[in-house]
Amino acid sequence: MEPRKKSETTRTGRSRRGGDFVSSPRPSKKQRRTDGQSEPCTFCGANEWDTDISRGEIVCSNCGFVAEQNMIDPGADWVNHSDCADRSRVGAPTTVSLSDKGLSTVIDKRDLVGSSARLNGMNTRQVRDWRRRATIDQRSKTRDSRSRNLAKAMQFIRDRGDLPPQLRDQASALYRKAVEKGLVTGRSIRGVTAACVYIAAREARIPRRIEDIAQNFDMVKEVEVKELKRTIRLVARELGTHHISGPTEYLDKFHSDLQLPPKVLGRANEIWDQTKEDLAWQGKKPSGIAGVLLYRAAADCGSNRTQSEVCKVCGVSEVTIRGLLKLLNQRIPKLENS
């Protein structure tokens, strides 16, 4: 009779006896070692480690010795974009530039056109049915008047505002506040959104001309421009946005539009620093002052521009430019003599 074979331990931790596999017991939590620290403690010799996830430390559970700190957490980076306890990472973060803040699902009509529909395995009848479902889904989200108002206004701000993402969200937030205060009632959505876009750019120190905003929102008639200016004053007064634009905030944009060399911008800022305390500038249009500063600086630096070119960029008449230039020329000799 052959002698009984000794048990052998495999790499998987199972013992093999005479061809039969017997699973070894699962080690307890204290017996298992932390990935970051596998050596015994240098002070007490124990091999029991606790991981403090909040502090990023590995601590000896026997004597309290901190073996490692500033540990890298290999777990999931949970980001909660909502105000609830759900830690799901599905979907984009909320944004105020959408009427529903991006929380609802949308049936994209781009997937129901031509080759995209064929790639999705849909025939003509299925495409027609899904288009009908997309229309019903869109209508179901804007049943009340406020939802329709916000959807149309947010579309105006995104398509016609010509603002970077941060300012676009700021303009959307201003419009939502205007709706809460009842400023939209009795006024056109187009006019209030244009006013919010203008105020958001002005508060960020990168103002836009009212004429440019009016042109982007198709408010080119004289009556519409006057109504826009009236709405801007109302929204600014009710929402507490009282920043007044200065000529220096227009210099960078006008300098780029006129395609002037960098030294002209420096000369214009130098002239304004010397003359900004003069009371003669009070009541004058900031964009006109910026235009006359660039006109005089370009002449001093040898990069002349005509008055018509400057007026086209600044949005003022040549009579205004000549009047402001006369005021500026009267004050520059005094500065040079002093």
DSSP β-bridge partners for residue 22: 15
Structure tokens at 197: 């876009």
Identify whether 272 is part of a domain.
Answer: yes
Q: Kindly indicate the confidence band of residue 230, based on its pLDDT and cuts at 50, 70 and 90.
A: very high
Structure tokens at 300: 């001093």
Same domain, 34 and 68: yes
* pLDDT more than 90, % of the chain: 20
Q: Which of 208, 239, 270 is the last residue in one of the domains?
A: 239
Q: Which of 72, 100, 127 is the last residue in one of the domains?
A: 72
User: Which has the closest alpha carbon to 270: 200, 328, 323, 189?
Assistant: 328
| pLDDT reading at 183 higher than 60 | yes
| pLDDT reading at 7 higher than 50 | no
Of 163-172, 174-183, 272-281, give the lowest mean pLDDT range: 272-281
**CATH code, 267:** 1.10.472.10
Q: Kindly indicate the confidence band of residue 279, based on its pLDDT and cuts at 50, 70 and 90.
A: confident
Identify whether 329 is part of a domain.
Answer: yes
Identify whether 6 is part of a domain.
Answer: no
Same domain, 137 and 175: no
Q: Which of 214, 239, 264 is the last residue in one of the domains?
A: 239
Which structural domain range is residue 196 located in? 145-239
**CATH code, 57:** 2.20.25.10
Q: Do you know the residue count of the chain?
A: 338
Given a contact cutoff of 8 angstroms between Cβ atoms, the answer to whether 97 and 158 are in contact is yes
| pTM exceeds 0.75 for this model | no
**How many Cβ atoms from other residues are within 10 Å of residue 283's Cβ?**
6
Of 11-25, 119-133, 198-212, give the lowest mean pLDDT range: 11-25
Instruction: Please tell me the predicted confidence (pLDDT) of residue 58.
Output: 87
Of 95-99, 157-161, 278-282, 328-332, give the lowest mean pLDDT range: 95-99
End-to-end CA distance of the chain: 122
Sign of CA dihedral 36, 38, 43, 49: positive
- HEC string for 273-311: HHHCCCHHHCCCCHHHHHHHHHHHHHHHCCCCCCHHHHH
CA distances from 292 to 196, 210, 250 (A): 28, 19, 12
| pLDDT reading at 19 higher than 60 | no
Q: What are phi and psi of 132, to 5 degrees?
A: -65, -40
Strands ordered across the beta sheet of 66-68: 49-52, 57-60, 66-68
Contacts of residue 267, Cβ cutoff 8 Å, sequence gap at least 6: 297, 300, 301
